[in-house]
Amino acid sequence: MAFDFLGTIPSFESFEEFEEFILIESENIDSRIDHLDLERKRHLELLNKFMEADLKLRSEYKKSYRPDRLWLKRPRTIPVRRVETIDSANALDVDLLKKTFLDTIKYKRERNEFKIRRIRDLADQISDEIAFLTEMKESYNDHLNKIRARFDLDSFPENQRNKSQDQAEVQGNLTAVPVDKGIIEENGKKYYLVTSVKPQFKSISFDGQNPPIKEGDKILLSNGSNNGTKTVVSILSDMTVKVAEDLVEENNSKTRVEIIS
């Protein structure tokens, strides 16, 4: 599972990645609420249609109990009655009659009632989700700020601001394995290393996975034969992107890419 942590956050970098995801996705909360509200209204319209159908199914039975909306929302009350004598005679007769008309009973009473209760339950669940999202829209920043502040508390060791020590840094005979292959940082800027550039496809292949870019983003190439700003037009694979501008071929490329927008 993505962001596979709760109480103990493995590093400050892990939190920042999680925080970025929440901040970007939170912009979609209003549209989610609008969609859910439309879905809830659709369920209520469907509910009314099934309730009307239920009344029609009962219309020819003059002594039939006519349920109102509250009865359809919750079970009928069961009156407390005194213990009666053994009713095996009645039980046998009623059971025989029920078996004779079982399909009709299910069709004209049970199935429609079940659908009504199910639709109402779904509408209530949607209402609960709308209320939850509305509340979280007001407070998600507070939750993020609380978590961020705990990284500076000595009494809160569950959060670690610094990454765990790489044993290769303290034991010279170990080979250091970079966590982020194909990524370097200089003067506070992050660069993504390129392995090859193909002019016939206008493609740029990276040393590892593509940087976090999408169609329309601007990237700045440097340290190679294609220096300058390029516009991403498509993602060809998890390691290759296509740009709008013409390129010069590079194999064993030294180019590095910076995301500028």
Residue-wise pLDDT tens digits, 187-197? 888 899 999 99
Long-range contacts of 128-131 (CB under 8 A, 24+ apart): 129/36, 130/33, 130/36, 130/37, 130/40
In 3D, which of 116, 131, 128, 113 has the Cα closest to residue 44?
116
Predicted pLDDT at 209: 81
pLDDT at 177: 43
Alpha-carbon distance of 29 to 131, in angstroms, equals 12
Q: Are residues 18 and 142 in the same domain?
A: yes
Instruction: Please indicate, yes or no, if residue 94 is contained in any of the structural domains.
Output: yes
* pLDDT given for residue 2 in this prediction: 75
1 lies in a domain? Answer: no
Verify that 210 and 100 share a domain, yes or no: no
- What string of DSSP letters covers 4-56? --SSSBS-HHHHHHHHHHHHHHGGGHHHHHHHHHHHHHHHHHHHHHHHHHHHH
The closest alpha carbon to 223, from 184, 178, 177, belongs to: 184
The reported pLDDT for the residue numbered 9 is 78
> Which of 125, 150, 175 represents a domain boundary (last residue)?
150
259: amino acid identity, one letter:
I
Contact (CB, 8 A) for 207 and 193: yes
* Tokens 């071929």 found at: 249
pLDDT reported for residue 11: 76
CATH code (residue 203): 2.40.30
Q: Does residue 96 belong to any structural domain of this protein? A: yes
pLDDT for 44: 86
State residue 197's pLDDT score.
94
Predicted local distance difference test score (pLDDT) of residue 64: 66
* 129 and 70 assigned to the same domain: yes
Last residue of a domain, one of 150, 174, 202: 150
240 lies in which domain range? 183-259
Q: Tally the domains of the chain.
A: 2
Taking 50 as the pLDDT cut, the residues of the chain under it are: 175-179
- Answer whether residue 164 is part of any domain: no
In a domain, 45, yes or no: yes
* Measured distance between the N- and C-terminal CA atoms of the chain, rounded to whole angstroms: 29
Residue 85 counted as domain residue: no
pLDDT confidence of residue 228 = 93
3-state secondary structure (DSSP) of residue 205:
strand
Whether 67 contacts 54, CB under 8 Å: yes
Give the residue from 193, 205, 198, 197 showing the smallest Cα distance to 235: 205
